[in-house]
A and B are shown apart, each in its own frame.
Chain A
Amino acid sequence: LWNGTVAFGEVIFPVKLYSVVQEHRVRFREVHLSDGGRIIHRRVGSESEQEVPNDRIRKAYEISEGNQVVLEDEEIAAARGSNAKVIQIEHFADGGEIDPVYYDRPYLLGAQPGGEHAYRVLLAALEQTGKVGIGRFTLRTREQLVALAPHGEALRLYTMRFADELVPTAELDIPTASRKPSGRELEMAERLVDTLAQEWEPDRYEDRHRDAVMALIEQKASGGEVKVRAAAEPPPTPDLLAALEQSLAAGAGRKRERAPAKGGRGSKVGSGPKAGSGSKVGSGQKAGSGSKARSR
C-alpha cells in the first residue's frame, strides 16, 4: 500500500503499510429496474447535458457565487507537504487517554529488510509503556495525523480524526427528561447491565445478514418471489420501573456462563433472525427460551 520509514528521535527504520480491513460485504451494482440494464455514470455539462470528455474536466473551488478557481491535479498535489516517505513521530501519549472515537482507519505496519530490529524494539517498548506514538505522514495526496500502537506482534497505524471533525454534543439540541431517573431505577438498570455483562469475544459475531442476502439473491435468481415483510417496532416502554423489574426477573439474576466461543454455533443460524449468535444473547429477555438453548 505504501513504503516508507518510521522516524522517532534519531531512530529511523523502513516499513510497509497494509490495510487491516478486508471487506466481505455483498457488493451490488446499480441496475435499471425496468429493463435490468446496467447503469453507467456519464459526466455531462450541467446545462448543455452534453457529454464532456475526461481530458476537459478539471477541479474547481467556488470562492463565491460565479467566482471560481480552477486547479490542476499537480497544483492540488502541492498541498500534500514534503514528508511523503516518512512517518514522523512527534511525541508519545498514553494509549488509554485517547478516546477511540479519534481513530479513523486502521492499518498494519510490516518491516522492510533491515528494519526488523528497530521495529521490534519500538513495538516492545510501546507494549511495555502502554503508549502510542503520535505523528504525521502523507498517504496518497494528503497529510494525515496518525497514531502508532502495538497490537499483538504487529505495529498498528491509525489515521486520526481531527477534533473539529467531531460534532460537538452541545450543537445537538437534545430533549432531556424533567425528572432524572430515580436511584432505584438506576440501581436496577445497573443490575441488568451486570446480568448481560460478558467477556468480549469478537469472533462470536458473524455477519449472518450476508448469508441471508445471498440466500435472497439465489432465491430470486431461480425465479422465486421475495416476500416483503416488515417487522413491528416495539412500542416505547410505558412503565420504566416495571420493565426493569420484569427484565431482571426474566434474567433471574443469573450470570450466564458462556458457551465456547467456537463451535456449536453456525448450525443455529437458520432458526430465525432472533436466534442470536450465542443462544444466551437475548435468552434472558425471553423467559423460557433461554434455559434450553444454553445447555449445549
Chain B
Amino acid sequence: MPHGIWNGTLSFGLVAVPVRMVSATRDRDVHFHQVDIETGERIAVQRVCEADGQEVPWEDVGRGYDLDGQLVTLTDDELAAASPERTHTIEIEEFVDLAAIDPAQFDHPYFLVPGSESEGTTRAYQLLRDAMASTNQVAIGRVVLRSSEYLVAVRQREDLLLLTTMLFADEMRDADQIEAVPTGSTGQPSRGEVAQAVKLINAMTRDFDPAGYENRYRARLTDLIESKHKTRRKVEPPVEDDAAAAPAPDLMAALKASLERAGRD
C-alpha cells in the first residue's frame, strides 16, 4: 500500500472513512545537482544560524514570523493548535457540481486511498466514491496540510477518490483588477467577425488527447545533455527568434485566410 503524505479521516455525515493522501502527480523533470567547478565536488546546502555561524540540525529549526520587527517563533506542534480538528479530519461540508468550479481555483491533485485493508474501511470508501460518481457531485471540505489550511474538492476519478487542494476565492485575482483586459467599447467585436472566428475554431478542433502531447522541453534537454556528454563540446545557444510577429492589420482578412488554410490541411 502506498505511503501517505497525510493520514486521516474523511467524514461524510456520520460515516468516517480512514484515508491516506498520496500525490497524483510525479516529477518527470530533468534534475540537475550543483557542483563546484574548481574541485568537481558536489554542493550541499547547510542551514546555519546567523547569530553564531554554526550549523543547525533540522530538529532545531522552527518557524519564525516577523511581527512588526519582533521575531516570534513557533513550533510545528504549536501551529497545529490553530485548527486541531482539521489536521486529522476532512469533514465534507457540501457537495457541488464539478463544472460549477472555476478550474483556476484548483491547485494540487492528490489521490485519497483507503487507510486500511479492513472491509469496513474499503466498503465505506467505495460507497462514497460510487455515490459521488452516480450523482455527479464533488465533495467540498477543508484540511490543514503543512500548517496551511486548504479548501479541498474530492471527487471520483477512475477507481479512486481524487482530492484537489483549492485556492480561496480571495487568493485569486479578478479580471477587473487588470486594466489590460479590454472591456466596454474597447475593441468591441462585430457579429460577423465572431462568426468567422467560430468557423475557424471549429475547423481547427480536435479531440483532446492528453497522451498525445510530447514534453518537448524535456526531450530537448535530454538530447542536449547526451550530445554534450558524447562530444564534450559546448552546446551552442539557439538562434534567437524572439522578434514578435506583427499583428494582423486586417482581422477579417486574416480570419478568412486562416480558415482557407485550415480547410486545406
Cα–Cα distance between A136 and B257 once the two chains are bound (Å): 22
Q: How large is the interface on B (under 10, 10 to 19, 20 to 34, 35 or more residues)?
A: 35 or more
Q: Mark A77-107, 1 if CB is under 8 A from B, else 0.
A: 1111111111001011110111111110010
Contact A114 B13 (CB under 8 A): no
Known contacts A40-B48, A231-B85, A210 near B149 by CB under 8 Å: yes
B197 to chain A, nearest CB (A): 4
**Chain B residues whose C-beta falls within 8 Å of the C-beta of A96 in the assembled complex:** 99
* Bound Cα distance from A63 to B52, whole angstroms: 39
| CB pair B81 A154 closer than 8 Å | no
Question: Which A-chain residue is minimally distant from B238 (CB atoms)?
Answer: A78
Across the interface, do B1 and A175 meet the contact criterion of CB distance under 8 Å?
Answer: yes
Q: Which residues of B contact A226 (CB under 8 A)?
A: 74, 78, 81
Complex Cα distance, B35 from A253, in Å, reads: 64
B224 x A75 contact (CB < 8 A): yes
Establish whether residues B49 and A129, one from each chain, have CB atoms under 8 Å apart when the complex forms. no
B70, A117: Cβ atoms under 8 Å? no
Count residues of A near B (Cβ-Cβ below 8 Å). Answer: 194
User: Least Cβ distance of B45 to chain A in Å?
Assistant: 5
Q: Per-residue 0/1 for A140-161: is the Cβ within 8 Å of any B Cβ (1 yes, 0 no)?
A: 0011110001011110101011
In the A-B complex, list the 8 residue pairs whose CB atoms are closest, starting with the nearest: A9-B258, A110-B180, A247-B13, A116-B187, A209-B149, A37-B51, A106-B104, A154-B175
Check A82–B261 contact: CB distance below 8 A: no
Q: How far is the CB of A142 from chain B (nearest CB, A)?
A: 5
With A112-B180, A181-B126, A181-B127 already in contact, 8 other A-B pairs whose C-beta atoms are closer than 8 Å: A9-B204, A40-B47, A85-B243, A85-B244, A89-B204, A177-B126, A186-B127, A216-B78
B132-175 at interface with A (beta carbon < 8 Å) = 132, 134-135, 137, 140, 142, 144, 147-149, 151, 157-160, 162, 164, 167-173, 175
Contacts of B52 in A (CB 8 A): 35, 37
Q: Could you say which residues of chain B place their CB within 8 Å of the CB of A8? A: 200, 204, 258
Question: A233 contacts B35, CB within 8 Å?
Answer: no
Residues of B within 8 A of A79 (CB): 217, 220-221, 224
* A45 with B63, Cβ < 8 A, contacts A8-B200, A75-B235, A110-B178 known: no
C-alpha spacing A102/B49, complex, angstroms: 41
Measured in the bound complex, the distance between the Cα atoms of B104 and A109 in whole Å is 13
Q: Tell me the minimal C-beta distance from B160 to chain A in angstroms.
A: 5
Could you pull out 6 A-B pairs where Cβ atoms are within 8 angstroms?
A23-B171, A44-B44, A46-B44, A59-B32, A92-B206, A103-B104
Q: Given A181-B130, A200-B101, A218-B67, A273–B168 Cβ distance below 8 Å?
A: no
Residues of A within 8 Å of B187, CB to CB, are 111, 115-120
Interchain CB contact under 8 A, A228 and B97: no
Asked if A31 is an interface residue, CB under 8 A from chain B, the answer is yes
B5 on interface, CB distance cutoff 8 Å: no
- A244-B41 CB under 8 A given contacts A37-B50, A186-B131: no
B49 touches A75 (CB 8 A): no
Q: Is the CB of B202 within 8 A of A244?
A: no
Nearest CB of A to B67, in Å: 5
Tell me the chain B residues, 182-198 only, with Cβ under 8 Å from chain A.
182-183, 186-189, 193-194, 197-198
**A79 vs B183: C-alpha distance in the bound complex, in angstroms?**
38
Instruction: Tell whether, in the assembled complex, residue A207 and residue B49 are in contact, meaning their CB atoms are under 8 Å apart.
Output: no
Closest residue of A by beta carbon distance from B98? A100
CA distance A10 to B39 in the complex (A): 53
Complex interface: chain A residues within 8 A of B99 (CB): 96
Indicate if the CB atoms of A273 and B25 lie closer than 8 Å: no
Q: How far is the CB of B42 from chain A (nearest CB, A)?
A: 5
Contact with B along A178-207 (1 / 0, CB 8 A): 111100011001101110111110110111
**Closest CB-CB distance, A261 to chain B, in whole Å?**
10
| Contact pick for B49, options A12, A39, A278, CB 8 Å | A39
Report the minimal beta-carbon distance from A55 to chain B, rounded to whole angstroms.
9
List the A side residues contacting B140 at CB < 8 Å: 200, 205
Interchain nearest-CB distance for A6 vs B (Å): 10
